Amino acid sequence: ENMDVSWLQEATPEARVRLLFLINNGDPLECGEGFREECKNDASTAQAAAKLSLKKNTMEDIDNELKKRISAILSSEIKPVPHGTPCGEYEINKDEIDFLVFDSACKYLKIQVPSTDTERFTVLYQKFNFSEKELNTLLPLDAEKLRYIDVAQSLDAETIWSVWEEIQDNEEIFDPAITITKPQSVALKEALFLMIVRQLQIKVKINRVYTGKLVNILKKCNVNNAIIDQFRCYPQTANALVPSGFCTIFSVLENRKGAEVEINKISGTFESLNFVVHDKIDPKLDDIEHMKAELSKPKYMFYSSLVCWFISHGDSQKVQLKDGEINRSELLQKFSNLKNFNKKPKIVFMASCLGDKHVTLKIGNGFFVAADAKSGGFLNIPDSIRDITAVHSEMDRLVAYSTLDWHYAYRSEEEGSIYVDRVCNLLKQEENRGRNITEVLEETAEELHQILFSEENISDLHLKQGCKYESTLQKTFKVPCVNEKL
C-alpha cells in the first residue's frame, strides 16, 4: 500500500472519477460467487469517498481512495499457473480480475501507467486464456459501466443536481444525514451522477436490465429522450476496442453443398460488427458440451452479448450433428443457462429445416434451391412485489428460425442457406447499424418471403420460404454501431 502512484495526478480529474467507477462493481451478483462480499465492500468504500468529496467540493477523498485501490491492485499477487494444469482451467481470484480491469480501464481512459512487470501480465493473460485477437485488439470492460460514464458526460451540472434533489430524500436509497454540495467542476458533477447510480445498484434498485427506477427520475428531471432511450436497450459501446459480444457458429457440412460459404458470410458479418467469432465445422455432441463449458470461463463475463448460429439439417424436434441428433429445446437450453450471460442478450439463429413441408405456388421461374374482461384502469404494481435479482435462464433470449414450423429451409448449392445470406446481407449494411435486431429480422422475413424458389424434384410448382423469431428480450438489442477508436 506504500506503492508510488504519484503518476495518477497527471490524469485529468474526470478520468480519475471514471477510473474509480470502472474498477468497482455496484451489483454484487455481477461478481464471482466467491468474492461478492469483497466487491460490495469495495463499492461501499468508494461510495463513502465520493460522498465526502461531494460534500467538500474537492477531489481529495476520491483521489485518496483511488490511490489506495490502485496500490492494492498493483501490489496484489498474481499466482503462477500450476504445472500441468489444462489451458484455461486455472482458478481466477478477485485480485486478478481487478488487475485486468484496472489495466484495461487505464488504456480506455488514456491514463499513462508506468510499465509494470510483464511477467505478471503474461501469467494473467494465460490464466484468462485470451485468444490472440482478444489479447491484441480488445479491452475486457463492462459495457454497462461505460454507458453510465457516457451519460454522466452528456448530462449538464444543473440536470444532475436536479436528479440528486429528486432522489436525496428517499430514505430507502440514501441516509437523510448525507450532505452534498452542488458540484463546481465537471469532474464532480460526473462523480455525483455515478455516485447516484452506484447507490441505486448497491440498494438493488437497478441493474443491467432493470433500470426503471433511474429512468423514472430522469424523466421527472426532463432529461433528453435520446439519453432515456439508451436505457431501453441492452448496454453496448461504440468503441472498437471493447467487443460487442461473442459469436459462435456450428455448421454441419455433410449433404449441404454451399455450407462453407455460409460460414464465411457469418464470420465476416459479425467480425464487422466487432464480435469475437468462433466456428466449429461438423460439430459433435462433445463439441456442444465443450463450448458450453468454454462460455462458463471467467473471460466471458466481459462480453455484453452472445450470438449462436446452428446451421444443419433438422426437423420439428431435432437438429443433426456429425455424430447423431440433439433435441432442439435441449440445445437452446444449453446456451441459455450461462451465468456469464445472465441479464445479457442471447441471440440464437437456427438455420435448419423444421419439417418436410413446402410453401407452394403455381409454376413459374424461381430461384433454384435444395431443401434444407373490461377494466376501469391499469394496475398499479407496488415496489414491494417487484424483484430484479432472479432472472429465468430463458429470459433475454431471441431465437430466430430460418423457416416456419414443419417446413423446409432452402439452400443454394453455390451460396449456401438463403436465410443466412439475407440476414448477413442486411446486418452488414451501414444503414442498419444501430437498428433494433427485430426490425432487421422482420425485413429479412419480408425479403425472404418474396423470393420464388424451384427444386429439381418438384417441377410443376413454385416454392416459398417464411421465417420467424421468438423473443423473451426485456430490452432492445441494437445491431452494434462501431464508430470510435482509442
Rounded to 10°, the helix 13-22/94-109 angle is 150
Report pTM.
0.88
Sequence-separated (6 or more) residues with CB below 8 Å from residue 422: 444, 447, 448
Q: Give the per-residue pLDDT at 71.
A: 92
Nearest to 150 by CA among 212, 238, 54: 238
pLDDT score of 116: 63
Query: Which residues lie closer than 8 Å to 424 by C-beta, 6 or more apart?
Result: 265, 266, 268, 269
| Per-residue pLDDT tens digits of the chain, which is 486 residues long | 567 888 999 999 999 999 999 999 887 667 766 778 888 888 899 999 999 999 999 999 999 999 999 999 988 888 777 766 665 566 788 888 999 999 999 999 999 988 766 777 778 888 888 888 787 777 889 999 999 999 999 999 999 999 999 999 999 999 888 899 999 999 999 999 999 999 999 999 999 999 999 999 999 999 999 999 999 999 988 888 888 999 999 999 888 887 888 899 999 999 999 999 999 999 999 999 999 999 999 899 999 999 999 998 888 788 889 988 999 899 999 999 999 999 999 999 998 876 666 655 554 555 555 556 334 456 677 888 788 888 888 899 999 999 988 888 888 888 889 999 999 999 999 999 999 999 999 999 999 998 888 777 666 677 889 999 999 999 999 999 886 544
In this prediction, residue 206 carries a pLDDT of 94
Contact 310, 348 (CB under 8 A): yes
Name the packing angle between helices 143-154 and 13-22 (round to 10°).
150
With b for 16 or more beta-carbon neighbours within 10 A and e for fewer, the 352-391 pattern comes to: bbbbeebbeeeeeebeebbbbeeeeeeeeeeeeeeebeeb
Task: Report the pLDDT value the prediction gives residue 50, as an integer from 0 to 100.
Answer: 95
- Which tens digit of pLDDT belongs to each residue from 120-157? 777 888 888 888 878 777 788 999 999 999 999 999 99
pLDDT of residue 485: 47
Residues 351-397 have pLDDT tens digits of 887 666 665 555 455 555 555 633 445 667 788 878 888 888 889 99
